[in-house]
Amino acid sequence: MRGGSELKQIKVPSMQIAMGMYVSALDRPWSESPFLMQGFCVTSPKVLAKLQELCEYVMVDSTKSIGEVDQKLDTAPVAPKFDTSKSGEPVRKSTKPLPINKEKYVRRPVMTTADVTTARQSYQNVQKSIGTVFKGVSQSSAVDSKSIEQASTSMVNSAVRYPSALFWLALMQKRSDKVYNHALRASTWALLCGRHMGIDEAELKYLTLAILLKDIGNLKSNKGQVKVNTEGMTKEEAAIAKTVALVKQSTKSEKVISIIETYREKFNGTGKPKGLVGEEIPLLARIASIAIAYDLLLNPVRAERNALSPSEASRYIYAQRGRAFQDELAVQFIEALGTYPLGTLLQLDSGEIGVVVDHDERARLKPTIMVVADEFGKPIEDWRIIKLSQVGQSDSSEEDKPSITKIMRDLSADNLDLDMQKIQDKYQELREDDPKKGKGGNNMLSRLLRR
């Protein structure tokens, strides 16, 4: 991970490249190679042979490689993107148990295509509403309270009824300079955590509203600027003060305002703007803080930061337990989203790339995946489904297919540009073609399922 261990780039002659090494750069532009992923782990003999044929040397990231990399080949280390090893930073323990009721919301049955369509339409309406609200603030500093509350209610309903669909929909929001895309994704992660913990719908609505509105103080307004005395404030504190002033024009909810005022606080008391400690920070603000950080790790705003994979982002959140985030709450958040969330890109031991499309609740580390690209990152036409929880039975008719038995690592969204909606639709189509109806395996899913 980028945090606790030092990130190192090692120059490795091509003849010394070994299986398990993470190749972060070539001795030539990526465009002059057959590799579509700009950074990958060598797990395929075919990829290893191609690297040795093409390059004199490659750069290897020792922190992402599987196994030990010969440090004699080490060059000057590159500064880590994130530092989670601040030994001098105080760690605080919780003083109150979290209010958790995991039986509050029933586990949803398998979603139908109609469910997915409904959730998708709802999410698109929310995105449109948020865009309109942000545009209005930019032009006149007025917050359309009716639109923003309707959007919040719609998102909460989707989270309660269609949590899996909501996850997919958040992933479909491409990284963008549009502030509301980040707000939508962060709201989704917070809602899924809140649902997992059994937080009341009314509270979830406050949580959503606050995250959706948290950045409106940063928007440039052409007229009707709200007047806020920011003398002596930092840029960050001034943005919070302006946001709160704008929000107070549209809502009297003290909970929404308190979340916006305190989500930047840290559990150990080192945060801003008031230096609140532990449970002095409202619970909903503590959830918002983790969700916002998680989304910025997956979809960084700053160009100098690379996008992390879901497991890397989760490890960062976990490493900040008792520091930036409440220990128990960080665990609940990671538990809610899972090690390999829906839509996660995975590099398999065959070298191929797959996308997580479903989970087996009894084997969360062995998800169902759809293989969508070969070992060079090139999209394939013959998508196939692999249920890793049932790997072990060989299919003699598929001897030409690479053998897949395990996950090597998950990847960031930057590694491969995929149409997540197309993948979701395809899987939904296959899943609704019930294998039990296909006597002798003649239906589409049984033909594509490789176990």
So what's the pLDDT on residue 340?
A: 85
Q: Which two tokens stand for residue 302?
A: 């700053």
Instruction: For the domain covering 113-337, report its CATH number.
Output: 1.10.3210.10
Q: What percent of the chain lies above the pLDDT cut of 70? A: 82
Higher pLDDT, 201 or 120: 201
Domain-wise residue ranges, the chain? 9-73, 113-337, 345-450
End-to-end CA distance of the chain: 31
CB 324 within 8 Å of CB 269: no
pLDDT tens-place string over residues 266-304: 999 999 888 999 999 999 999 999 999 999 998 887 766
pLDDT score of 30 more than 70: yes
State the pLDDT confidence band at 177, using cuts at 50, 70 and 90. low
pLDDT tens-place string over residues 87-137: 567 889 999 999 999 889 877 667 778 888 888 888 888 888 888 888 888
Higher pLDDT, 278 or 44: 278
So what's the pLDDT on residue 206?
A: 95
pLDDT score of 7 more than 80: no
- Helix (H) or strand (E) holding 379, with range, is strand 379-387
DSSP label at residue 387? E
pLDDT tens-place string over residues 310-326: 888 998 999 999 999 99
Question: CA-to-CA distance for 191 and 439, rounded, in angstroms?
Answer: 41
pLDDT tens-place string over residues 409-442: 888 877 777 888 888 888 888 877 655 444 433 3
Helix and strand numbers, DSSP H then E, in the chain: 13, 10
CB 226 within 8 Å of CB 141: yes
CB 115 within 8 Å of CB 94: no
Question: CA-to-CA distance for 445 and 451, rounded, in angstroms?
Answer: 12
Is the overall model pTM greater than 0.85, yes or no?
A: no
Question: CA-to-CA distance for 207 and 284, rounded, in angstroms?
Answer: 6
State the pLDDT confidence band at 156, using cuts at 50, 70 and 90. very high
Cα-based distances in Å from 240 to 159, 174, 226, 246, 303: 27, 26, 13, 10, 23
Q: Is 368 helix (H, G, I), strand (E, B) or coil?
A: strand
So what's the pLDDT on residue 78?
A: 34
pLDDT score of 396 more than 90: no
pLDDT score of 259 more than 90: yes
Taking all residues of the chain, what is their mean pLDDT, rounded to a whole number?
80
Q: Which of 41-45, 247-251, 324-328, 333-337 has the highest mean pLDDT?
A: 324-328
- Give, in degrees to the nearest 5, the angle at Cα 3 between 314 and 292: 45
Q: Which two tokens stand for residue 212?
A: 């959706």
DSSP 49-115: HHHHHH-SEEEEETTTSSS---GGGB-PPPPPS-----TTS-----SS-----TTSSPPP-PPPHHH
pLDDT tens-place string over residues 368-388: 899 999 888 888 888 888 888
So what's the pLDDT on residue 197?
A: 95
Q: What percent of the chain lies above the pLDDT cut of 90? A: 24
How buried is 38 (Cβ within 10 angstroms: 0-12 exposed, 13-18 middle, 19+ buried)? middle
State the pLDDT confidence band at 397, using cuts at 50, 70 and 90. very low
**Residue 121, phi then psi, degrees to nearest 5:** -65, -40
Pairing, β 57-61 against β 345-348: unpaired
pLDDT score of 82 more than 60: no
CB 160 within 8 Å of CB 178: no
